[in-house]
Amino acid sequence: MTLAAATRLAVATNEHLASISNTLIYSSMAVYTLAFFAYIAEWLFGSRSKVARTAAALTADGARKTAGPAVTVKQAGGTAVLERPQVVVRSASGARDVPDGPGAHGGDVQGDLYGRIAISLTALAFLVELAGVVARAASVERAPWGNMYEFNITFSTVAVAVYLTLLALRKNVRWLGLFLITTVLLDLGLAVTVLYTASDQLVPALHSYWLYIHVSTAIFCGAVFYVGAVATILYLFKDAYESKLQSGGKPGTFATSVLERLPASASLDKFAYRVNAAVFPLWTFTIIAGAIWAGDAWGRYWNWDPKETWSFITWVAYACYLHARATAGWKGRKAAYLALIAFGCWLFNYYGVNIFVTGKHSYAGV
């Protein structure tokens, strides 16, 4: 085989792999859509359940207890009556002592079934999308992180992987499913329409093993920061809901149906803090790795390029958030606002800087 023929074969193979990648990404979007409707069904059927409804007991009048109806269990030769355990939903001192909600299924068996179907579809879609990312990497013969399209499809894959890993570790995060899949679909829709870039080789500055180190950690950090941001937003809603109940107010039916099934605000706050704190050292390493790579590629470790500047701003914002959590006067909602500002800085660092600002990192277009 001549060199020209071998080159043509390689080009044709890469184009075929790129086509397979696109097909797999679209297929994953289809499965994610089915998972989205299954999550919707979980929330809808869960809203019918009366098993876990404790909102009526959440008042500011001190301790309240709710007990469900007795359960009659048939046994050989007779019956046994089991009383449901009482659930303390407000401490006697007036401070919050609210248990976590039952989850999106709300204690409804059919809702729980749809939730399990949704998780199965999410896992299937993740595998299909992962195959699409791998096919994209094979088509360009490099890590699939050379432009915003490739970053987006990899980012959403890692975000779902974080969610599935937390589920595998038996963490109480099933409530995250609907919110995660909604944003994943938006992310992929943006990737295949606005950000799509045909397979191509990297510019010389990116031909380095630091691509695998720096960009992979940046993607993982972004995925974990995203999970923390969703938990923070839900914390703000749940905290406002609990505060209204504590002051004697009556939230709307829709708010009650949704928010009472989420974990308590204290649980959401703790979860958001833990994931942000856990990934912050890795974000620090990401910035350091980027500086070392810049020194190898451009002969200067730090040049206050827009991407470098906003990476540092993001680091400072998360550092302020973590410091605020360690300061008694800045816990709760104030710290949550700082966390959302920090994640907003991360989003602007990716979308805003890449699209609207010109710098040394503007080599890959979109």
What is the chain's pLDDT, residue by residue, as a tens digit (366 residues)? 576 655 665 566 778 888 899 999 999 999 999 999 999 999 988 876 544 444 444 433 333 333 344 444 444 555 544 444 433 333 333 446 678 888 888 878 888 899 999 999 999 999 999 999 999 988 888 888 778 888 899 999 999 999 999 999 988 899 999 999 999 999 999 999 988 887 766 666 666 777 788 888 999 999 999 999 999 999 999 999 998 888 888 888 878 888 888 899 999 999 999 999 999 999 999 999 988 888 877 777 878 888 888 999 999 999 999 988 887 667 788 899 999 999 999 999 888 887 777 656 555 455
DSSP state of 143: -
3-state DSSP call for residue 329?
Answer: helix
pLDDT score for 205: 62
pLDDT score for 337: 94
Distance between CA atoms of residues 38 and 179, nearest Å:
13
b/e 302-320 (16+ beta carbons within 10 angstroms → b): eeebbbbbbbbebbebbeb
CA-nearest of 269, 312, 230 to 320 is 312
Distance between CA atoms of residues 18 and 144, nearest Å:
11
pLDDT score for 294: 80
DSSP state of 195: S
Give the bridge partners for 73, in sequence order: 80
Distance between CA atoms of residues 184 and 32, nearest Å:
8
3-state DSSP call for residue 61?
Answer: coil
Distance between CA atoms of residues 151 and 173, nearest Å:
25
Contacts of 46 (CB under 8 A, 6+ apart): 102, 103, 104, 105, 106, 107, 108, 111, 112, 115, 261
Distance between CA atoms of residues 364 and 366, nearest Å:
6
Note whether 264 and 97 are within 8 A (CB): no
Pinpoint the alpha helices (H) of the chain.
3-46, 109-140, 148-168, 177-193, 210, 216-246, 253-259, 265-298, 306-325, 333-347, 353-356
pLDDT score for 252: 81
3-state DSSP call for residue 1?
Answer: coil
Distance between CA atoms of residues 288 and 282, nearest Å:
10
Residue appearing with tokens 């920090």: 342
Token pair for 193: 């329409």
DSSP state of 74: E
CA-nearest of 125, 247, 156, 147 to 203 is 147
pLDDT score for 65: 39
Note whether 262 and 234 are within 8 A (CB): yes
Note whether 353 and 314 are within 8 A (CB): no
Contacts of 35 (CB under 8 A, 6+ apart): 118, 119, 121, 122, 125, 177, 181
